[in-house]
Structure 1
Amino acid sequence: MLLTVKLPVPIRSCLVALLPLTALILAAPQARAQSPGATPAPAPVVTRITWLASDHAPQMTGADASGVTGRVTAYLEKQWPGVRHEVVFANAKRSWQMIENGEEVCRANMVRTPDREKAAYFINTQLTPPPGLIVRRDTLKRLPRNAAGEVQLPRLLADPSLRGALIDGRSYGPALDEMLAARSVDSAVTLYSPKDFGARVLQMLNLGRADYSVEMDMALIMAGNPENLVSVPIQGASDLVMAGIACPRTPWGLAAIRGIDKAYGRPEGAANLRQGLMRWLTPETKAHYAARFDAFYRERAKPSRIDP
């Protein structure tokens, strides 16, 4: 049994008076650790990057077999020695889930949006022409189009007689994303999660299992450029789309994106990215956006500002 000890009043008063001072002494180390001038934790060392890709073209070989991603890893293997690069095929939806979960993965050729920047660090690598509507040539006459020949996408989405096929979890750029999100719940649009860059969706169009999709010209080339399919511009979505490399918004992701940017933020890095894009564009598209491309790659030839 514990006995209660009664301290004399003067001693008890002194101890009570010392309590605030004791609390300050105990809290001092923690306050120093949390102060703005505290030494930050060392950045993680990046030794391996797993690249998530769906831009796969079976009919191509070498780095081209994984499209943009293959070219990125081939360049980084030379410019960032000591880092192992692995390509794993994952669809757009799964890739973004892994980045949101903070897994040690990165993805190239990802459309950059303010919402995505909440979960990922980005560097800009491509200023690309916007996606167009991909249809079979025998469906062209059924499309709602303006005087300039551009497709009026909201009207098309409201037409139940034409079946759309889109990729789940993918961003097509702010303008198109807004149009697609505004479609009615009974719209004749089906979402798919293919493992490739959309080649299987284009095969569905070619076989008549769907009537239209939204894609970039590059996807047509990677799918073997089917003669029966054609790309049509979409009204209200003619702005160039900013795309880049994304890594998770974690200490590892920050270290990875800074290492990647260091490799690309120089003239030879910008030239490599430009060559990689130009090979997928038609002469008409190159000429139309020439001034914009020149300005973008001049800026890309310098290091980016990447805030934690």
Structure 2
Amino acid sequence: MRLLPSLLRSGLLLAALSFAAPVLHAGGSTMRWFVQDAPPLFSFPGGQAPRRAADLGDGEIDGFLRLLIAELPQYRHEFFDATLPRFELMVKSGETVCSPLHKRSPDRLKDRFFTPMIPWLASNQLYVVLRRDQAEKFSDLGSPISLSELLQRQDLNGLLARDRSYGRQIDQLLQSSNQERVQTLSVRKGAQLLAMLRAKRMDYTLETKSEVSAYVDEGPDDLLMLPIKESQMDSLRYISCSRNAQGRAQIEAIDRAIRKMAADPQRETWLRTWLGPSSDAQERRRLLRYFDERARGGPQIE
């Protein structure tokens, strides 16, 4: 310990302590983001979870999140990869965490705040997915297919992801369905259920067009997607933060940042950055209408 006074006099210890201390933003505020490798919505480039905003991918959600974080410089942003049960435990234990990946539902409103982020893109509309060789069994359910009628069929078994929200109307249908014919399974990626469908473990599942397309690219085109009559194209994606004082401050900052982006005179530039130069013109117009409404409105926090 005799070295301590000399180190203090030389300034070496102070310099070392200064170097080791983390650099905090705006009074030490940190915004912690839940992330998962769930392409094409959110992907880990190189297979690694992001450590900073620049590491985020170019999908529908992670691409938008990178732009959003640029509007929140008052926070230091951290990212953590976790299972859904682990994330739920963190929220319920009082930790302040935010997520761009969870849908709004009445149960989740009990322990977290929500604010609208973006509309669902058309490429991520929900479909009934089945094997092509079973198409005849579904032919009498109409086109688009009536999910409410499908759920009543005693000869067709569905398997869905447990604890996943498919949208308010479809969630309500599922809750009132015949549970003997519609089972759920805890899965990390939608591709797991598609693989089980291909292996004839069930007759159908529910999945987005983009997820099915990405899966089929890796194998034979033996799966068929049927649009759902009850699926809501204009449903929204949300950002949520823990329902506590710190989470309230963070969701308010996020809501302000989204409204600022929506009102940006250069928003078509960042839209092209987010969607890519080859994005569908009709999709862009739909998004611009949404951002017009978001810019004119006040805070939207539940």
Normalising by structure 2, report the TM-score.
0.69
Amino acid at match of 1:234: I
Q: Match for 1:256 among 240, 250, 269?
A: 250
Q: Which amino acid aligns with 2:176?
A: A
Q: Deviations over 1:139-159 (max 9, x none)?
A: 222115455x12222332233
State how 1:151-170 maps to structure 2 within 5 Å: 151-170=145-164
Q: Give, in angstroms, the shift of residue 221 of structure 1.
A: 3.9
Q: Given residue 194 of structure 1, which amino acid in structure 2 is its aligned partner?
A: V
Contact 1:199–1:223 under 8 Å retained in 2 = yes
In the other structure, the counterpart of 2:179 is 185
Q: CA deviation at 1:199?
A: 1.8
1:218 aligns with 2:235: no
Aligned-partner Cα distance in 2 for 1:237–1:56: 21
**What residue in structure 1 maps to residue 38 of structure 2?**
55
Matched, 1:175 2:169: yes
User: What displacement does 1:257 show?
Assistant: 1.4
Tell which deviates more after alignment, 292-301 or 268-277: 268-277
Structure 2 counterpart of 1:297:
291
Matches within 5 A, 1:84-95: 84-91=77-84, 94-95=86-87
Cα distance in 2, alignment partners of residues 69 and 242 from structure 1: 12
Q: 1:140 aligns with which of 135, 159, 163?
A: 135
Task: Kindly state the Cα deviation for residue 119 of structure 1 after the two structures are TM-superposed.
Answer: 2.5
CA contact (8 A) 2:30 2:76 kept: yes
CA–CA distance in structure 2, aligned partners of residues 167 and 180 of structure 1: 12
Choose from 126, 132, 144 the match for 1:131.
126
Cα distance in 2 for residues equivalent to 1:156 and 1:143: 8
Structure 2 residue aligned with 1:116: 108
Compare 153-162 and 298-307 and name the one that shifted more: 298-307
Counterpart of 1:28 in structure 2 is none
Q: SS of 1:177's equivalent?
A: helix
Deviation at 1:191, TM superposition (A): 0.9
**One-letter amino acid matched to 1:126:** I
Kindly state the Cα deviation for residue 49 of structure 1 after the two structures are TM-superposed: 0.8
Which among 79, 83, 100 is matched to residue 76 of structure 2?
83
In structure 2, relative to structure 1, the CA distance for the partners of 1:207 and 1:248 (3 Å cut) is: same
1:200-279 equivalences under 5 Å are: 200-223=192-215, 225=217, 227-267=221-261
CA RMSD, Structure 1 to Structure 2 (Å): 3.6
In structure 2, the residue matched to 1:34 is: none
1:301 shift after superposition = 4.3
Alignment check: 8 A CA contact 1:50 1:86 kept: yes
| Structure 2 gaps, min length 5 | 1-26, 47-54
Any idea what SS the aligned residue of 1:195 has?
coil
C-alpha distance in structure 2 between counterparts of 1:205 and 1:182, whole Å: 23
Q: Look up the match of 1:64.
A: 57
Question: How much has 1:168 moved relative to structure 2?
Answer: 0.8
Provide the TM-score with structure 1 as the length reference.
0.68
Q: CA–CA distance in 1 between the matches of 2:107 and 2:268?
A: 29
Q: CA deviation at 1:248?
A: 1.2
Q: Mean Cα displacement is larger for which, 298-307 or 56-65?
A: 56-65
Percentage identity across aligned positions? 23
Task: Quote the Cα distance in structure 1 between the aligned partners of 2:197 and 2:284.
Answer: 32
Mapped to 2, the partners of 1:266 and 1:85 lie a distance apart of 22
Report SS of the residue matched to 2:188: coil
Once the two structures are TM-superposed, the CA of residue 175 in structure 1 deviates from its matched residue by: 1.3
Q: How far did 1:220 drift?
A: 2.1
Shift of 1:212: 1.3
Q: Given that residues 251 and 301 in structure 2 are in contact (C-alpha distance below 8 angstroms), is that contact kept between their aligned partners in structure 1?
A: no
| Amino acid aligned to 2:138 | L
**SS of alignment partner, residue 104 of structure 1:** coil
Structure 1: which 5+ residue stretches go unaligned?
Answer: 1-43
CA, structure 1 residues 112+271, in 2 after alignment: closer, same or farther (shift >3 Å)? farther
- Number of equivalences: 257
Q: Is the 8 A contact 2:255 2:299 kept in 1?
A: no
Contact residue 31 and residue 76 of structure 2 kept, 8 A: yes
